[in-house]
């Protein structure tokens, strides 16, 4: 029977000594496929799709989704500090919001790191009325929104999505993938519905 060292040498030689070529997936007896998917989600730091995981591992997309569902169930059952959220058409490993107070304390997150009220108002208008120009945002808020929009652009919560076909061709603004991540949304369709009064104001 070949030793583990000999198997490793044989595998290395079979790939021509090229360490850039990943080895074939190990069997479930050595490392579970679920653990591989978990490791990829952990190091990604952003939403990843089943397609991208499939390209890396060679696993079928339906199997990857099943493995992620199992991981999510495992985390819930043991009240883990981690969760897997479906965000921006992908999956992302995140800290459990139940333990947010400890995470914020550890990272020394201060109130100043939060969005200001003007920025939140501006972001809400852009989210529900996009694509929208700065002038249209100003008209809805009743004040100049230049500073708020600049902040949102710097934090990559909004972006320029085009230009309006009107005199001066002003920029049109819309939300970003980071916006979905920031608020834990899967897509814009997950935005809460506007109340009747707010809908009338935004119309």
Residue 39 token pair? 């490791």
Do residues 87 and 144 both lie within one domain? no
Q: Is residue 161 part of a domain?
A: yes
* pLDDT of amino acid 28: 58
**pLDDT of 143 strictly over 50:** yes
Q: Is residue 106 part of a domain?
A: no
- Mean pLDDT (the chain) is 79
In a domain, 93, yes or no: yes
Tens digits of per-residue pLDDT, 164-189? 888 888 999 999 888 887 777 778 88
Q: Verify that 74 and 137 share a domain, yes or no.
A: no
- Average confidence (pLDDT) over 103-120: 68
Could you tell me which residues are beta bridge partners of residue 193? none
Q: What is the pLDDT of residues 25-56, one digit of tens each?
A: 555 544 679 999 999 999 887 788 999 999 99
The domain boundary, picked from 99, 132, 149, lies at 99
Instruction: Tell me the CATH number at 170.
Output: 1.10.10.10
Whole-angstrom Cα distance, residue 176 to residue 192?
17
Total domains in the fold of the chain: 2
Same domain for 92 and 131?
Answer: no
Q: Confirm whether 47 is domain-assigned.
A: yes
Query: Does residue 110 sit within a domain?
Result: no
pLDDT over 60 (residue 199)? no
Decide if 158 is inside a domain: yes
Q: Please report whether residue 79 resides in a domain.
A: yes
Of 37, 65, 99, which marks where a domain is finished? Answer: 99
User: Is residue 90 located within the same domain as residue 122?
Assistant: no
Q: Is the Cα dihedral 133, 138, 141, 147 positive or negative? A: positive
Question: Range of 57's domain?
Answer: 4-99
Nearest to 97 by CA among 192, 183, 188: 183
| The predicted structure's pLDDT at residue 113 | 58
Query: Do 92 and 143 reside in the same domain of the chain?
Result: no
Q: How far is CA 146 from CA 82, 141, 150, 187, in A?
A: 38, 12, 6, 26
Q: Distance (Å, rounded) from C-alpha 192 to C-alpha 181?
A: 15
Top pLDDT among 18 and 193 is at: 193
In a domain, 107, yes or no: no
Give the separation between CA 37 and CA 46, rounded to whole angstroms.
Answer: 14
Query: Do 17 and 91 share a structural domain?
Result: yes
């Amino acid at each position: 029977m070949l030793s583990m060292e000999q198997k490793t040498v044989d595998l290395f030689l079979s790939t021509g000594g090229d360490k850039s070529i990943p080895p074939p997936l190990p069997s479930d007896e050595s490392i579970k496929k679920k653990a591989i998917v978990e490791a990829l989600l952990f190091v990604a730091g952003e939403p990843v799709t089943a397609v991208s995981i499939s390209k890396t591992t060679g696993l079928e997309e339906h199997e990857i989704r099943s493995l992620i569902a199992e991981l999510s169930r495992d985390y819930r059952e043991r009240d883990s500090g981690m969760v897997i959220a479906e965000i921006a058409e992908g999956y992302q490993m995140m800290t459990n919001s139940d333990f947010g107070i400890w995470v914020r304390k550890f990272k020394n997150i201060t109130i100043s790191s939060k969005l200001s009220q003007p920025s939140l108002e501006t972001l809400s208008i852009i989210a529900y009325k996009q694509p929208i120009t700065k002038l249209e945002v100003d008209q809805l808020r009743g004040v100049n929104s230049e500073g708020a929009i600049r902040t949102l652009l710097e934090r990559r919560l909004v972006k320029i999505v085009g230009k309006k076909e009107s005199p001066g061709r002003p920029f049109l603004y819309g939300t970003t993938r980071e916006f979905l991540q920031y608020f834990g949304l899967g897509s814009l369709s997950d935005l809460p519905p506007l109340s009747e009064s707010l809908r009338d104001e935004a119309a």
